[in-house]
Amino acid sequence: MSLELTAFTRRGAALAARLAEELKTGRGLTLGRMRQVFAQAAADFASIPCRPGPRRRVALVGELYTKYCALGNWDMVAFLEGEGWEVGCIHISS
């Protein structure tokens, strides 16, 4: 994960914790506060770096270690994303 996304994740976690505390005490339920929170969330989402243009897509299929373990798939997800691919993992349930 890049440093920008790590900082974004920390900021989001801090905001979520603060909002949870406000909701527990009943302070975050006013229309004005909700508008502030929604505006901040929209600004945070808009600040996420993204690549313009279409991306090629690939699905990573296999058993659990192949799909979800960097050691099991030789960090294939990070490699493919670095090459410009959009990677998804196929979820099969019975």
* pLDDT the model gives residue 94: 47
* pLDDT the model gives residue 20: 84
Burial environment of residue 72 by CB neighbours within 10 A (0 to 12, 13 to 18, 19 or more): middle
Please state, in angstroms and rounded to a whole number, the distance separating the CA atoms of residues 29 and 64: 42
- Grouping H, G, I as helix, E, B as strand and the rest as coil, residue 54 is coil
- Grouping H, G, I as helix, E, B as strand and the rest as coil, residue 58 is strand
Average pLDDT over residues 31-53: 82
Share of the chain above pLDDT 70, in %: 86
- Please determine, for residue 50, whether its predicted confidence score (pLDDT) is greater than 50: yes
- Please determine, for residue 13, whether its predicted confidence score (pLDDT) is greater than 70: yes
